[in-house]
């Protein structure tokens, strides 16, 4: 039996050194690094498609990519193939899993739900600086959650994305939006949001808007208005990419993704 011509790869990465996921000319990207490794191991005709086009500086706990090509290695050798790919990847990109997929599988088109998390620190931290957004102002977590409660459902998120006119549609169905304060880390706020897809910079602008609510500079009613009347205000509140992680991507038939330690990757 030979390996199928489509493989499903799950990988984690620190996006701090990359200009995002998607391959670009004269820019270092995660997709570009994975593609280069795949060419060496799987052949020059390989194609790589990712489930989420994370922005520059954004990280991932479990990005999913589909690898398409005329693979000839036995399916039993997928463990060795994964090792060979990891040997060629830089240390801040790691292939967690590699498995056979159906011939029609496409990481982006077939995804059922994408979950992002944003980490906000309410204290100065030496070790977690690269992976949080430190807010010096006092934050009202209850007010932030009240604003986040407005996000689930089908809404026009044109007020919360970059280049709204460039999207085919700014309507997004959000499954959940929660602000969590881990008991073991009371100075850490984690904003988690799940949807079938996201608009460009949508999560970062939603997070920045929640912080404005938390500081009292913005009211919950103002957020509600931004969901009904398009506004450019959130552009000024775009949160930095350092605190944003693509947490998981699920597909029909997948089990629930495992929980992630709130301290990861350092706080």
- Collapsing DSSP to helix, strand or coil, 242 comes out as helix
Hunting for tokens 């498995």 — which residue is that?
A: 99
Hunting for tokens 């290695």 — which residue is that?
A: 73
Residue of 55, 110, 156, 168 marked active site: 55
C-beta of residue 85 within 8 angstroms of C-beta of residue 71: no
Question: For residues 161 and 80, what is the distance between their CA atoms, to the nearest angstrom?
Answer: 41
Task: Assess whether 187 carries a catalytic annotation.
Answer: no
How many Cβ atoms sit within 10 Å of the Cβ of residue 149?
14
Q: Where are the alpha helices (DSSP H) in 133-248?
A: 141-148, 202-215, 220-228
Q: Residue 50 forms beta bridges with which residues? A: 65
- The DSSP-derived string for 104-136 is T--TTTT--EEEEEEEEESS--SSSGGG-EE--
Q: Which residues are catalytic?
A: 55
């Amino acid at each position: 039996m030979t390996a199928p011509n489509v493989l499903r790869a799950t990988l984690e990465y620190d996006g701090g050194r990359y200009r995002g996921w998607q391959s670009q000319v004269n820019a270092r990207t995660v997709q570009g690094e994975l593609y280069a490794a795949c060419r060496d191991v799987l052949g020059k005709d390989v194609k790589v498609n990712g489930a989420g086009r994370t922005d520059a500086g954004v990280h991932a706990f479990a990005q999913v990519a589909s690898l398409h090509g005329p693979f000839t290695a036995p399916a039993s050798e997928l463990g060795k193939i994964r090792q060979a790919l990891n040997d060629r990847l830089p240390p801040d990109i790691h292939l967690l899993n590699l498995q056979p997929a159906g011939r029609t599988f496409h990481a982006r088109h077939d995804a059922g739900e994408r979950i992002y998390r944003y980490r906000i620190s309410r204290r100065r931290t030496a070790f977690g600086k690269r992976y949080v957004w430190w807010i010096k102002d006092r934050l009202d977590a209850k007010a932030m959650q009240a604003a986040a409660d407005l996000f689930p459902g089908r809404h026009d998120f044109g007020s919360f994305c970059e280049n709204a006119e460039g999207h085919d549609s700014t309507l997004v169905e959000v499954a959940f939006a929660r602000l969590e304060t881990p008991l073991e880390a009371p100075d850490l706020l984690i904003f988690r949001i799940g949807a079938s897809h996201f608009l460009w910079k949508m999560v970062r602008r939603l997070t920045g808007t929640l912080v404005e609510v938390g500081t009292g500079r913005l009211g919950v009613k103002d957020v509600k208005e931004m969901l009904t009347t398009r506004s450019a205000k959130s552009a000024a509140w775009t949160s930095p990419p350092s605190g944003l992680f693509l947490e998981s991507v699920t597909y029909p038939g997948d089990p629930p993704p495992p929980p992630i330690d709130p301290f990861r990757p350092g706080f």
